[in-house]
Structure 1
Amino acid sequence: MDRLISAFFIYIMIFLFGMTVMKIGFRAMGDEKIRTIIQKSTSSPLKGLLIGTLLTAILQSSSAVTVITVGLAAAGLIRFSNTIGVIIGANIGTTFTGLLATFSLGRIHIVLILIGFLLLFTRKSAIFCLGTFLIGLGCLFLSMDGFNTLSIPLRELAPVKYILTAANHSLWMALTSGALFTAIIQSSSATTMIAMGFLNNGFLTLLASITIVIGANVGTCVTAILASIGSNWQARWVSYTHLVFNIGGALLALPFLKLSAGWLESLHLAPDTALAYSGILFNAVSALLFLPFIDKYGRWVEKRAKGAR
């Protein structure tokens, strides 16, 4: 059992390592450039949403984009109302990791990692970034393969069997499991990969898997909250808004999850593909529902904060 659990956490570390290498590569082009892009591209909620989605899809980390946004707000370089679209867009951008993981490329992940490693020895930043991207992509496919393989023996462990059974029979248990696990490992994408592994082998229903992924959206808010500790009101409210938006989206989605899961099953998609599409659909619909209220909410918070001071 110890070896099995160790292997499980090794695959989590491989995934997180790959995402970190990919993030480092793109950020090697300059955090300042990313900050400038966010500052200049958030004059409206829609622009903020689009830039948040794009940057997160590139950096493969909603936490990184959210933390940068918190930092800009803390430094007074961006208005609070202009940050909301970015953090909502970050939720959409992070779903592309799950979509990438659904592509079946056999053992090509080893080739991707080797080519990426060789490209790191160049002095050209664009080629270096390509190398980090290939390493990250290779690690993503390697960890996904590992989660699929380990899901069968892990299913036999009593605690895992209990959690899977409870998640399959209770949406609240699935939601809580996704949130807590993500808060601990600080990666909603890793939680999604693990859910995909159990789903592909029939140990989780599509409904339970979707609910776990929605819970992961809530758990990932912990990163922004930690980053805002000791900062000014703007930074704190960015993290609060991130949490409120994700909890609100989860609560609004719960009554419609059975219907959504049934519709996706009727399309006869591969289980992991259906789960990836559900993440994109949930975050896109949540964003569109909240988008019309962003300006009013932002002005309300700014007015309230000024009154408090």
Structure 2
Amino acid sequence: MIVSILAPFTIGLCFFLFGMYAMRTGFQNLAGKKMEQWMARFTRTPYHSFWIGLIATFVLQSSSAVTVLTIGLTNAGIIQFAQTVGIILGTNLGTTVTTELVALKLESFAIPMLLVGVALWLMPRPTVRCTGLVIAGFGLIFLGIDTLKLMAKPLEQSETFRSLFLESSHSIWIGLITGVIFTALIHSGSATTVITMGLLSHQILSMETALAIVLGANVGTCFTAVIAAIGTNTASKQVAWCHTLFNVAGAVVFLPFLSQLALVSAFLTSSPSMQIAHSQTIFNLICSMVALPFVPQIARFIQWLIPDKRKPPTPTAVWIKKKTG
């Protein structure tokens, strides 16, 4: 029983994460070299920052990667902290693009996409090779999803697992914490969401518990950013904690309304996987749209919460520096 669960879980997760890495590498080589320039140049207003965050997350296939890149640019002094709040809001919505694509159930195209991707990878032109990497990455993602589905049947038959999730269905907080911890461990909110989709489609989870896990996954993605901010300047720490606090606040605010969110997604589609994807999109869209007009206030609040402890130079010190310089 344990082998029949762990084997497809491990192999499927490896396929999925490796596919995400391959796709991200391909996109990075195609457009990633200009990403830093775009982020530095087109973040003058919160709305520009928002679109840059959204596009960058789709290109890099990881909100954590974009947040870490933002931390690096802030630490280098290329962009200011106030410019990054819009980027953070955009990354949250950008992650839903991958989830929506995954929910379309394109697993039957996994092997053909993988073969086409490998064939293009063997071509001499760098652009064609990178395109092949992206296509092969998508193929691996769908192959991983197909493999992960194999663990659903033994899980469904496991009384221990059923009782565990029956217990968690009585408390959406357990689902939220599960999503946070699992995503922090594997560093992929998309993978957590895909596994949740599989369990929901086999009726192992209730919709409310599944949505709580997805909200937890949103929070868990912040773990990488917090780690990346260690040893950096204050502005970089502000970026990491702004991302974390925003996602935590969104999850806590939405938690009492999971039933209503489930009803809305059920109205839009009858597919459980699509319901999860649409719910995540609705959640992130509402959170981002509500916060976007208040970006300056959010930035000031974070700067007040995590102040720059460096004391500004006194007028005398400035005068001495000018005289000696």
Q: Provide the residue aligned with 1:23 in structure 2.
A: 24
TM-aligned CA distance change 1:231 to 1:209, over 3 Å: same
Give me the whole-angstrom Cα distance separating, in 1, the residues matched to 2:274 and 2:36: 33
Kept after mapping to 1: 8 A contact 2:4/2:151: no
TM-aligned CA distance change 1:249 to 1:28, over 3 Å: same
Kept after mapping to 2: 8 A contact 1:179/1:216: yes
Give me the whole-angstrom Cα distance separating, in 1, the residues matched to 2:258 and 2:310: 40
Task: Tell me by how many angstroms 1:4 deviates.
Answer: 2.6
Give me the whole-angstrom Cα distance separating, in 2, the residues matched to 1:130 and 1:271: 31
Kept after mapping to 2: 8 A contact 1:166/1:174: no
Give me the whole-angstrom Cα distance separating, in 2, the residues matched to 1:264 and 1:301: 33
1:81 correspondence with 2:82: yes
Give me the whole-angstrom Cα distance separating, in 2, the residues matched to 1:74 and 1:169: 44
Question: Deviations along 1:46-70, whole A, 9 cap, x unmatched?
Answer: 1111111111122211111111111
Identity level (%): 36
Give me the whole-angstrom Cα distance separating, in 2, the residues matched to 1:247 and 1:144: 28
Q: Provide the residue aligned with 2:315 in structure 1.
A: none
Number of aligned residue pairs: 309
Task: Tell me by how many angstroms 1:115 deviates.
Answer: 0.7
Structure 2 gap ranges (5+): 312-325
Give me the whole-angstrom Cα distance separating, in 2, the residues matched to 1:88 and 1:5: 35
Give me the whole-angstrom Cα distance separating, in 2, the residues matched to 1:126 and 1:166: 51
**Residue 150 of structure 2: SS of its match in structure 1?**
helix
Q: Provide the residue aligned with 1:249 in structure 2.
A: 250
**Residue 229 of structure 1: SS of its match in structure 2?**
coil
TM-aligned CA distance change 1:159 to 1:71, over 3 Å: farther
Structure 1 gap ranges (5+): none
Task: Tell me by how many angstroms 1:116 deviates.
Answer: 0.3
Kept after mapping to 2: 8 A contact 1:228/1:239: yes
Give me the whole-angstrom Cα distance separating, in 2, the residues matched to 1:189 and 1:72: 25
Give me the whole-angstrom Cα distance separating, in 2, the residues matched to 1:229 and 1:306: 15
Give me the whole-angstrom Cα distance separating, in 1, the residues matched to 2:175 and 2:269: 23
Kept after mapping to 2: 8 A contact 1:11/1:143: yes
Q: Provide the residue aligned with 1:305 in structure 2.
A: 307
Q: Provide the residue aligned with 1:215 in structure 2.
A: 216
What letter corresponds to residue 121 of structure 2 in structure 1?
L
1:197 correspondence with 2:180: no
TM (normalized to structure 2)? 0.90
What letter corresponds to residue 200 of structure 1 in structure 2?
S
Kept after mapping to 2: 8 A contact 1:151/1:198: yes
Runs of 4+ deviating beyond 4 Å: 300-304
**Residue 202 of structure 1: SS of its match in structure 2?**
coil
Give me the whole-angstrom Cα distance separating, in 2, the residues matched to 1:106 and 1:301: 43
Question: Deviations along 1:8-66, whole A, 9 cap, x unmatched?
Answer: 11111110000000111111236441111111111111111111111112221111111
Q: Provide the residue aligned with 2:106 in structure 1.
A: 105
**Residue 307 of structure 2: SS of its match in structure 1?**
helix
Give me the whole-angstrom Cα distance separating, in 1, the residues matched to 2:41 and 2:146: 40
